[in-house]
Amino acid sequence: MISIRQVTKVYPNGVRALSGLNLEVKQGEFVFIVGPSGAGKSTLMKLLYRAEVPTAGGVVISGVDIGKLSMRNLPKLRQRIGVVFQDYKLLNDRSVYENVAFALKIIGTAKAEMHHRVRSSLDLVGLRDFADALPGELSGGQQQRVCLARAIVNTPPLLIADEPTGNLDPETSWEIMRLLTKINLHGTTVVVATHNKLVVDNMRRRVLTIDGGKLVQDQARGVYSVGVH
């Protein structure tokens, strides 16, 4: 599903975020990416949905080297990858329903089909009754669930979550993780970058540890075990 080969990313300001990173993620896997701040987690996530392009090496998703993708084909990639952000990235002047429907509207989904999919997506994240609410009226956990609903509404094969629980309390974090697991069970490959030791240690999933821009540990049923953390 994901194959990262010898990827180096140097930002224009000279910061070397990743150097010669290699990793593989199989279809249907649930993977945590952990590591201290500045280890390169966020950069790796951005490379996956191509908010950044690698300075060297290849990021291959489903057989396509997305670093070489033309601007014209970029939307097609993004439509096949659901992304969950730490800061939710919701439109605050649109209802929950409209925020979720947004991802379908841009690919020209028919109204009836859209309605059906948005409903089931909101059902999955438990926000059926909040369809008409504005994001500002929701708690952080609820907003993150809206973001999740939007990410999965067009059933992408890959879901990427960058610090999805970064702004949430432990209980709410568990709720989000439970949902990510549920989505994974439906066959979606899930990659989660996180700082949340508690969550990682209790989930016993594959854990990839990144430090200094390199993969330093790959545990099949791992725990969060970097440095002082």
Partner 1 sequence: MARSAWMSWLVIVTIAVSLSILGGFWLVVQDLRTVSHQVGAKVPIAVFLSDDADPKGVELAIRELPDIESVKLITKEQAWKEMQQDMRSRMTFDTLLDANPLPNTFSVQTKSPDATPAVAERIAKLQGVEDIQYGADLLKKLSEFSGFIRAAGLVISGILGVASLAIIMNTIRLAVMARRREIEIMHLVGASNAFIAWPFLLEGMLFGLFGAMLTGAALVSWRYFTFAKWQELFPFVPMQLDFVSTAQVLTYLTVIGMGLGAVGSALSVRKHIRHAMAD
Residues forming the site for partner 1 (CB under 8 A): 49, 51, 71, 75-81, 83, 89-91, 102-103, 106-107, 150
Query: What is the spatial order of strands in the sheet that 158-162 belongs to?
Result: 81-84, 158-162, 189-193, 30-34, 206-211, 214-219
Cβ closest to partner 1, residue 33 vs residue 90: 90
Cβ closest to partner 1, residue 44 vs residue 200: 44
Query: What's the gap between Cα 195 and its chain centre?
Result: 14
Query: Between β-strands 81-84 and 30-34, what pairing exists: parallel, antiparallel or unpaired?
Result: unpaired
At residue 218's C-alpha, the angle toward residues 37 and 197, to 5°, is 45
Nearest approach in angstroms of CB 171 to partner 1 is: 28
Cβ closest to partner 1, residue 37 vs residue 70: 70
Beta strands in 127-225 (DSSP E): 158-162, 189-193, 206-211, 214-219
Nearest approach in angstroms of CB 218 to partner 1 is: 28
Cβ closest to partner 1, residue 15 vs residue 107: 107
Nearest approach in angstroms of CB 106 to partner 1 is: 4
Nearest approach in angstroms of CB 225 to partner 1 is: 32
